[in-house]
Amino acid sequence: MTTTIELAPGTPLTVLSEEEQMFQESVRDFAIEKIRPLVPEMDHAATMRKDLIQSFFELGIMGIEVPDQWGGAGSSFFNAVLVVEELSHVDASCGVLVDVQNTLVNNAIIRWGNEDQKSKYLSLLATEKVGAYALSEAGSGSDAFALATRAEDKGDHWVLNGQKLWITNAAEAEIFIVFANANPDAGYKGITAFLIERDFPGFQVGKKEDKLGIRASSTCELILEDCRVPKENVLGEAGKGYKIAIETLNEGRIGIGAQMLGVARGALEYAIAYTKERRQFGTRIADFQGVQFQIAQAATDLEAARLMVYNAARLKDAGRPFLREAAMAKLFSSQVAEKVTSLSIQLYGGNGYTKEYPVEKFWRDSKVGQIYEGTSNMQLATIAKTILTDRL
């Protein structure tokens, strides 16, 4: 069945500048024309096409905030959020690949890297190399700082031993930010961030997970067995890894909010189009008030999520506090994504439950939004803490 897609209720003109609107539309056109035809194949094969990744570099969206002196676009965090939303409204796997690259890996190096590290790694990340961010382990998920991976200072180099799990982009990445504890006696204050290249001795990308959703996005384990890391590859300074992780993840959560916003929007666009074509009892199901009310509520929830995500991104760019707003944006947008994608399946009826139609994939992709980069319960804990220690 061929369906003509109409955009769901769009971004308010008062939110975006004319330049931002043009940028958003260019990424949207790219996603629809270049990514959408490949989505079923990539989802089935659970593989991201290499030529598509190369097109991300050519489009300039793998180094959005990277200064132009290192080959980046020298743009804003807000524009990175727009990119993640637009890619995710077609395919969440593409959205999260670009999201991790920009909001986690690049951001961490921009903020914490020295000039040599920025010159070497940002220039690669902006133009040709995929990056990954390795914090999670089997015993440290929500308790992110219960790291078992250890780093030992050998004088002119470090040696790392341990295992990382659930690392997004790991199959494609060639540059990794890896967190290890260099001083376990100091607890979380011993955690240190390291810049590791894929071909470093003792470093290996392990098993790739077979996932429910975002299947084209790789999620793998990392194995470090006496991994030798040059002394100059400490990011920031020894013992500051916990601070790097916290601050970077706070920004990354806005990116996940944008991803979930895109997922919900993509599903709703298909559902609206379908209700205008599907006929029952001699009329379009879009003409039934019960259906109209469900779509109206979904569009309202989607708009609320959009404004929360955009607001958090604007605050980040303005250098203002955004911890609570980022947590709220991720929490709410992930809830909206699961709710709207489920509704979209319902509006398709039996067809929605089959892989012949696109909405079941949006639903599968939505679930991870409540899990990675801080579960919904962790976002609630953050929100509650900030409310109880501050005024609304």
Residues known to be catalytic: 373
Distance CA 304, CA 327 (A): 14
Tokens of 320: 């203002």
Contacts 24+ apart (CB under 8 A), 317-322: 317/76, 317/77, 317/78, 322/250, 322/254
Contact between 99 and 84 (Cβ < 8 Å): yes
- C-beta of residue 341 within 8 angstroms of C-beta of residue 310: no
The two tokens of residue 13 are 């003109």
What are the backbone dihedrals phi and psi of residue 8, each rounded to the nearest 5 degrees, phi first?
A: -70, 170
Question: Who's near 131: CB < 8 A, 6+ residues apart?
Answer: 100, 101, 104, 105, 106, 125, 169, 173, 174, 175, 176, 177
Q: At what angle do helices 77-88 and 289-317 cross, to 10 degrees?
A: 150
Amino acid identity of 241? G
Q: What is the H or E stretch that residue 197 is in?
A: strand 191-197
